[in-house]
Structure 1
Amino acid sequence: MGCCFNRKDLGLLALRSAVGGVLFTHGAQKLFGWFGGGGMEGTARAMEQMGFKPGGRNALAAGLGEAGGGALLVAGLATPAAGAIVAGTMAGAISVHFSRGFFVTQGGYEYPAVLGACGLAVGLSGAGRYSLDDLTGYRLDRAAIGLVAFVASAASAAAVVSKRQRALKEAAAAERAGAS
């Protein structure tokens, strides 16, 4: 006699809940100031300091990417798009921490890389049986949706990171010129 629960589907539920829950709370910090976060104003200032300009628009995008992507992962709804949103959002976070190396203990990109990889993996594998995707007949979990979402997310992340790199170079050049 077998168990009435599928281990793989339970594993996907646990992974989606953990990763999505973490991302949702980080996004809620940015958007609403919940859980000790800076809200939109504080996040916008921080984004400007990190080279993401304009800060307000980037704060909104990061907050929605984390909170929205996280909520979709937890629910198991539009899972390919949710995974793409999470992976793209974490690419921006990786760009902030990249210069400090891999390990989070030195301020590195380890943590956003793991969150992004988990989002990517769930987006590719699907949410499993215990999800809203399953309840809706996988209408929003189709290969074409996943392909479009991952291409759009990768292109958006590349554009945002490139724009940030240009802003940082311009700021450094202005600082050198001012110091002369």
Structure 2
Amino acid sequence: MSGSGVDVARVVLRAALGATFIAHGLKHGRSLDGTAKWFTSIGFRQPQVQARASAVVEVGAGAAVLAGAATPLAAGAIVATMAVAARSVHARNGFFITAEGYEYVLNLAGAGVALAGIGPGRFSVDRAIGLDRRLNGAAAALTAAAIGIGGAAAQLAVFWRSPGMGAVQE
């Protein structure tokens, strides 16, 4: 694939991933009370905080990915969001999305790590400010994965208790 073809592919990946997260975050934001009730139902403490945080993180990470800004960090936020979703909701349902499995969240997290690894491309904020030359390739992919897994582990450890296993409802 030519250089311009790769740049177009990066823009398409950023647009699909970024728009998905913006839409999902806006959905949370339009119904914070409903989102908080849902967080309660899946075992999260401080559900109002979780609802607001999920809306802000998803819109923010989506917008950053769409713009190609702070790509490894934004991709890490996507990985974290999907890892939390996988552990708290989807993993127990098996692989396939048709049974509420982790297929979809795994693909979104994988796309985030891949984007961090290949970089946002020529048409990005990161390129305009030279950030893409400082952190790229395997280091960027590993950074996104580490941010995501670490962030998810922290959120789950502090706020989540598996329903049916002594979940605390506040």
TM-score range (shorter-chain normalised) is: 0.7 to 0.9
Separation in 2 of the partners of 1:168 and 1:137? Answer: 49
* Superimposed CA distance per residue, residues 91-112 of structure 1 (whole angstroms, 9 cap, x where no aligned partner): 0111211111110111111111
Counterpart position of 1:169 = 165
Structure 2 equivalent of residue 81 of structure 1: 73
| 1:140/1:49 CA distance change after superposition, 3 Å | farther
Aligned residue for 2:130, secondary structure, equals coil
Determine if the alignment matches structure 1 residue 67 to structure 2 residue 65.
no
Percentage of pairs with the same residue: 33
Structure 1 residue 59: Cα displacement: 1.4
**How many angstroms apart in 2 are the aligned matches of 1:70 and 1:90?**
13
Give 1:60 shift.
2.0
Q: Within the alignment, does 1:160 sit opposite 2:155 as a pair?
A: yes
TM-score normalised by L of structure 2: 0.84
Displacement of 1:142 in angstroms is 2.9
Task: Give 3-state SS (helix, strand or coil) of 2:44's partner.
Answer: coil
Q: What stretches of structure 1 of length at least 5 have no aligned partner?
A: 34-38, 173-180
Aligned to 1:24: 22
**Native 8 Å contact 1:27 1:63 kept in 2:** yes
Match of 2:45 among 44, 53, 65: 53
Q: For residue 45 of structure 2, what is the amino acid of its counterpart? A: K
Q: 1:91 to 1:59 in 2, by over 3 A?
A: same
Letter in 1 for 2:7: D
**What is the aligned partner in structure 2 of residue 177 from structure 1?**
none
Deviations 1:115-169 (A, max 9, x none): 1111111122210101111122227963688766654432220122344245651
Question: Can you list the C-alpha shifts for 1:15-47, whole angstroms capped at 9, x where unaligned?
Answer: 01011101110011112x1xxxxx211111111
In the alignment, structure 1 residue 40 sits paired with structure 2 residue 26: no
Q: Hey, what does 1:36 align to over in structure 2?
A: none
Deviation at 1:81, TM superposition (A): 0.5
- TM-score, reference length from structure 1: 0.80
Distance 1:103 1:59, change over 3 A: same
In 2, Cα distance between equivalents of 1:13 and 1:167: 40
Compared CA separation, residues 87 and 18, structure 1 to 2 (3 A): same
| Number of residue equivalences | 163
Matched, 1:106 2:104: no
RMSD: 2.5
Q: Does the aligned pair in 2 maintain the 1:79–1:141 contact within 8 Å?
A: no
Instruction: Give the whole-Å Cα distance in 2 for the aligned partners of 1:52 and 1:111.
Output: 21
Alignment gaps of 5+ in structure 2: none
- Do 2:11 and 2:121's aligned partners in 1 also have CA atoms closer than 8 Å? yes
Larger radius of gyration: 1
